[in-house]
């Protein structure tokens, strides 16, 4: 009987002849668990295309992004680059940034220069419909410098802006506390 129990995985015979069942629980790092928490996913607001930002680790986001029509271009260390041709009125490039636990901390759509149809305004109006009216920080879509912000209840901050001297606009989805921690660890300093 002893040899049969010892042959079964998860069982062992103690020094006193009693059978003991061994249970091994394997848990991932806390940050990974945070990224795929079903409660957070239920209330997730920030979506990259059709996918909630806070509900995926790197591997699952890449797989879902490909299924939803984004074209994977390359992976460069902590970031992945996609082409996003059909998400917004302008063709965009999506760059997603991950921490050491493969949790997405920031994603940024990069748009080319505004067109005659004022697609930047269309993008901002679509964001207003999705997240509520954003706070205008500075300028308007046709201005050389503009910025709009949305603070979402899932902790994500959405920012749509163009900086001085740039022809491109950027739509950034950020988990601020995670992004700051990751970027400072990488040696980046905030822009002033």
How far apart are alpha carbons 102 and 191 in whole angstroms?
25
Neighbours of 86 (CB within 10 A): 12
> Is residue 53 in a domain?
yes
> Is residue 13 in a domain?
no
CATH label of the domain that carries residue 35: 3.40.1000
Which pLDDT tens digit goes with each residue over 57-74? 899 888 888 888 889 999
- More confident site: 90 or 22: 90
> Is residue 19 in a domain?
no
Which pLDDT tens digit goes with each residue over 29-59? 334 434 466 777 777 888 876 778 888 889 9
State the pLDDT at residue 37. 67
> Is residue 143 in a domain?
yes
How many domains would you assign to the chain?
Answer: 1
Q: Structural domain of residue 137, as residue ranges?
A: 28-185
The answer to whether the beta carbons of residues 105 and 175 sit under 8 Å apart is: yes
Any idea what DSSP says for residue 54? G
> Is residue 12 in a domain?
no
> Is residue 9 in a domain?
no
Token pair belonging to 44: 């997730």
> Is residue 57 in a domain?
yes
> Is residue 21 in a domain?
no
Which pLDDT tens digit goes with each residue over 112-142? 988 888 899 999 999 999 999 999 999 999 8
Residues in the chain, overall count: 192
């Amino acid at each position: 009987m002893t040899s049969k129990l010892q042959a079964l995985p998860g069982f062992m015979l103690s020094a006193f002849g009693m059978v003991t069942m061994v249970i091994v629980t394997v848990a991932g790092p806390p940050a990974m668990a945070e990224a795929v928490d079903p409660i957070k996913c239920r209330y997730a607001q920030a979506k990259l295309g059709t996918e909630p930002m806070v509900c995926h680790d790197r591997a699952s986001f890449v797989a879902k992004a490909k299924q939803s029509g984004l074209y994977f271009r390359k992976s460069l260390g902590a970031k992945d680059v996609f082409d996003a041709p059909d998400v917004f009125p302008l063709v965009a490039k999506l760059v997603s940034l991950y921490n050491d636990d493969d949790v997405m901390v920031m994603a940024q759509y990069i748009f080319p220069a505004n067109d005659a149809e004022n697609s930047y305004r269309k993008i901002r109006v679509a964001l207003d419909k999705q997240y509520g009216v954003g706070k205008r920080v500075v300028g308007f879509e046709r201005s050389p410098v503009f910025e709009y912000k949305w603070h979402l209840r899932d902790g994500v901050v959405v920012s749509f802006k163009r900086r001085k001297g740039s022809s491109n606009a950027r739509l950034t989805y950020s988990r601020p506390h995670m992004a700051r921690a990751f970027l400072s660890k990488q040696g980046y300093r905030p822009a002033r």
